[in-house]
Amino acid sequence: MTPCDTCVVRNRAICSGLDDAELVALNNIGRRRNVTAGEPLIWEDDDSLLVANVIEGVLKLTTSTEDGREQIVGVAYPSDFIGRPFGQTSSASVVALTDARVCVFSRNDFDRFAREHPELEHKLLERTLAELDRTRSWMMLLGRKNASEKIATFLLEMSDRLADSSCTGAIGPAKRFSLPFSRQQVADLLGLTIETVSRQFTKLKNDGVVELPSRREVEIVNRGALLALAG
C-alpha cells in the first residue's frame, strides 16, 4: 500500500470532488504519524511541518502568555485540518489530548497540491469559514457568559461533537460521553480556573442535571436544564 492509506479513506469528506488519480496523488504526499496523549505536534513558530489532517483522536490548539496563562483557542476532531498553509506560520501550539493519528503534509507539498486542485481549496475554504464561525461564537462565551453558562454551553457542545465520532450509529447528540479534557483543560477552554470548573460540575451534579460516574465520564440527565443554563 502507499503511505497514509487510511488518510485517503478518511479524507473523502474533504476531498470529494477529487478524482481517483488525484486522491492517489494526495495520498503520496502525506505521511501518517501517531501522537500519544500529551505530546505536542507542532511547536509555536516551527514552520517545518505544518499542515495535518486528523484521522483519529482529539488535539488542542493553544496560545499562552509568558507568565504561563493558557487559552485553548481550538479543538481538532477527526477529519479536521490543522495548520496554516500558504506561507504563514501558525500562532498556536498543537498538543494531543488523546492518543491520535494524523496525516501530516510538508507545507510546500501541500501548498503545491492545493493550488493545482481547486476543489480541495474550495473544501478547505468552506471548512475554514465554518471554523471561524465556531470560533466567533466561542468569543461570545469567553467575553460575555458567566461560569455556569460557560459550563452548560461546553457540555452541550461536547455532547454534539462527540456524537459524530463515536460511530455507534445513533443519530443526534450523545447523552453519555467521555470527556477528552482534564479539569484544567476545561478551564483553559472556558477562561476559568480549575476550582471554578470543579465547583460548577459539582453543582450540576447536586442539582440532578448531570451524572459524573468518573472524572472523565459525563451523562446528561436533564438536557433541557442545560439548554436553559447555556442561554
Partner DNA sequence: TTGCGTTTTTGATATCGGTCAAGGTCTGGG
Partner DNA sequence: CCCAGACCTTGACCGATATCAAAAACGCAA
Q: How far is the CB of 183 from a second copy (least distance, A)?
A: 16
Q: How far apart are CA 10 and CA 176, in angstroms?
A: 25
Distance of CA 157 to the CA centre of its chain: 11
- For residue 224, what are the CA distances in angstroms to 60, 176, 186, 211? 29, 15, 22, 15
Residue 23 CA, chain-centre distance (Å), reads 24
Angle at 53 between CA 95 and CA 47, to 5 degrees: 60
CB 165 within 8 A of CB 179: no
168 binds, among DNA, a second copy, none (CB under 5 to 8 A by kind): none
In 134-222, beta strands by DSSP E: 176-178, 210-211, 217-220
Site for DNA in 42-81 (CB under 7 A): none
Q: Which stretch binds a second copy (CB under 8 A): 7-15, 31-39, 141-149, 176-184?
A: 141-149
CB 150 within 8 A of CB 141: yes
Q: How far is the CB of 63 from DNA (least distance, A)?
A: 17
221 binds, among DNA, a second copy, none (CB under 5 to 8 A by kind): none
Site string for a second copy, 121-140 (x = CB under 8 A): xx-xxx-xxxxxx-xxxxxx
CB 99 within 8 A of CB 36: yes
Contacting DNA (CB under 7 A), which of 63, 165, 182, 222? 182
- Minimum separation from the CB atom of position 108 to a second copy (A): 16
Q: Report the residue number, 8 or 97, with the smaller CB distance to DNA.
A: 97
169 binds a second copy (CB under 8 A): no
Among 4-12, 33-41, 43-51, 59-67, which window interacts with a second copy (CB under 8 A)? 59-67
Residues making contact with DNA (CB under 7 A): 146-148, 182-184, 191-199, 201-202, 212, 214-216
